[in-house]
Structure 1
């Protein structure tokens, strides 16, 4: 996934830092992502969603609002309306590049901003909210008694997510007058509302109110046990996959487009989370899975290990080879399962301490087979192409792209 670091001019004239995540293949659509209140464009959920959409051929622009992350300006001088204006500026920048956004994605207060923005952008076909409030002034519940000081002094420092943030009176005055009811009624875009029932920052009743106020087509998907920031990688992956699948219907991606991402005949492995060992594994344009390491080895155990996949290849090829032979013979084989385990063992008769890879394969054959048929199928298992590959040495050529 190529990522272009760029800047554009925000509502107040300062430069806002952005990342434009691009697909490896043809560009089919563009999404604009709005992060949560006081967060940044680089939160794990935003990275994961951007990566998954890029794999679908959808570019994603994510940026830091004025005064946050790597963007210029003073956050204390911003308001909810100025955040919406920053989003308008981002959409205009994309439009100037002939990449007008057709998909809007917003997290928390960023989701509320996207709902407010959607009716004003003719290019938008679909909107996704993640843990968004129905009333934007819901965020003031987190100010822990600072409202009186803000009213008295014009601003105050509040602690959000373990870090101090200065909130100005203009923000409070602006957000009190914002209603999403009219925007939801005016929007012509499809809507996907995603929310966790146990969200203790923005209650799930907000999702219900957004859903009821919106026109069809609209969908609701629960994020189960996810927290408000969607910090768990499993939850972020799930949200990303749902958004990618759901949005394809409403963006009407061209069916005749060239294959996206991995070419046929190629297995592409891409790092999914640099904090551990999680890998996205793509085989051609149709198949996706995850590889990882166990917790004991510093992984997150969200996919099979590399040796697990190697064992799976042997087991799958064995079962397929046996089935092919039995089908050709017309034998009454009703079921097959193959248990494969892998270990390192000392090489026999090598005279050294060198270890080699050992695979133990236990095959279960179901059906009314006689002993000679079972013996023959056991012999056929050794004809499996992966078995033969593992038995002989292979040549691996490596080069830099």
Structure 2
């Protein structure tokens, strides 16, 4: 996944560090990601969601708010209002690049900032929040014991998620005064609320209040037993899948015409986890699946194996071919299913040369008032399935290496 690194001026002129994760193929839309309170653009959930959307053809900008991560400025001098202003500045930076965002994603307080900013960003068509508070002042509960000291001294260090950060009194006052309900009432973009019922940082009641106050179209999806930061890869993957599938309904994802000689377009496979074998498989802007290997082979078993995908293609093509013929001939076929298995057999078992061969076995089930002749004919038609013919005859595979890209720094 190509990544551009650059800076842009934030609300007060300080340079904010950003990463723009770009699709390896055509870019169909742009999203803007607002990270959780005091976290940063490189939190695991932000990286995974960005990677998944990039595989779908959606570029994602994630950046560090003022005073956090690699951005300039002092966090103690920021506020919720300044975070919202930073978010708008990020959108403006994208617009200057000809990539105005249409999707906003916000995690925790970043979700509240996204809700607050969206009504003032007319190009935004969809907003997704993850574990967002309805009341931004909710975050002060994380450092209740330090509030008196912050009020007396103007600022103070607190421990959040194992990190020491300095919070200013201006932030406390601003975040307590901020209300999200008026922004929700004005927001016309589609809304997706993602929240875990067991979230110990921001309770599930916040999701209920956001959903209730929002206008249609609005959706809510539970994150089950995920923690607030989506620290388990499977939880971040699930959130990414849901956002990607949901966003496709509201963004105008129109892929370019397929290249000459490839009428079905490009199937793009991108590595999703370099520590294992998980792959993102994207067929156009709307069709996604994962590919993996079983745990016994060093994978995480979060998708079909490559040979299972080949078997699925054979089975699907077989069923489609049978259905097309039965429809054309008016046969009373009410249902067809195909079980496909794959194994390796010794050549002598197949009466072929000495090398092992791949063998796919199909078990076809036909339902309906079909006589013996019709069933026999449909079996014959199954053997004319295009994928069957390709596998049986073999195919020529031409492989080329893309030009090397400049190495990127962390």
**TM-score scaled by length of structure 2:** 0.80
- Contact 1:55–1:260 at 8 Å: present in 2 too? no
Cα drift, residue 400 of structure 1: 1.5
Cα drift, residue 139 of structure 1: 1.0
Q: Does 1:240 align with 2:243?
A: yes
Please give the residue correspondences for 1:112-151 in structure 2 after superposition, counting only pairs within 5 Å: 112-143=112-143, 145-151=145-151
Q: Which moved more, 1:217-226 or 1:143-152?
A: 143-152
- Contact 2:135–2:180 at 8 Å: present in 1 too? yes
- Contact 2:107–2:132 at 8 Å: present in 1 too? yes
Find the aligned partners of 2:34 and 2:271 in 1 and give their Cα distance. 24
Are residues 189 and 365 of structure 1, via their aligned partners in 2, closer, same or farther at CA, if it must alter by over 3 Å?
Answer: closer
Are residues 358 and 23 of structure 1, via their aligned partners in 2, closer, same or farther at CA, if it must alter by over 3 Å?
Answer: closer
SS of residue matched to 1:395: coil
Cα drift, residue 118 of structure 1: 3.4
SS of residue matched to 2:172: helix
Q: Does 1:395 align with 2:381?
A: no
Task: State the Cα deviation string for residues 209-268 of structure 1 (Å, max 9, x = none).
Answer: 334444x345131224143223414422333225413532xxxx497x845999734322
Cα drift, residue 190 of structure 1: 4.9
Cα drift, residue 151 of structure 1: 4.2
Task: State the Cα deviation string for residues 284-337 of structure 1 (Å, max 9, x = none).
Answer: 455333322223333333321111011112222333444455556665544332
- Runs (5+) with no aligned partner, structure 1: none
Q: Which moved more, 1:348-357 or 1:42-51?
A: 348-357
Task: State the Cα deviation string for residues 148-176 of structure 1 (Å, max 9, x = none).
Answer: 44445554443333433343444323323
- Contact 1:197–1:222 at 8 Å: present in 2 too? no
SS of residue matched to 1:348: helix
Find the aligned partners of 2:241 and 2:353 in 1 and give their Cα distance. 48
- Runs (5+) with no aligned partner, structure 2: 403-410
2:94 matched residue in structure 1: 94
Are residues 259 and 131 of structure 1, via their aligned partners in 2, closer, same or farther at CA, if it must alter by over 3 Å?
Answer: farther
Cα drift, residue 343 of structure 1: 1.8
Find the aligned partners of 1:44 and 1:378 in 2 and give their Cα distance. 50
Please give the residue correspondences for 1:1-400 in structure 2 after superposition, counting only pairs within 5 Å: 2-22=2-22, 29-51=29-51, 53-54=53-54, 58-143=58-143, 145-151=145-151, 154-187=154-187, 189-214=189-214, 216-225=215-224, 226-231=226-231, 232-248=235-251, 253=252, 258-259=256-257, 264-284=264-284, 287-324=287-324, 332-348=332-348, 355-371=356-372, 374-375=375-376, 377-400=378-401
Q: How many residues were matched structurally?
A: 395
Find the aligned partners of 1:19 and 1:265 in 2 and give their Cα distance. 28
Q: Which moved more, 1:14-23 or 1:261-270?
A: 261-270
**TM-score scaled by length of structure 1:** 0.81
- Contact 1:25–1:259 at 8 Å: present in 2 too? no
Task: State the Cα deviation string for residues 97-126 of structure 1 (Å, max 9, x = none).
Answer: 344444432211011222333344454454
- Contact 1:155–1:169 at 8 Å: present in 2 too? yes
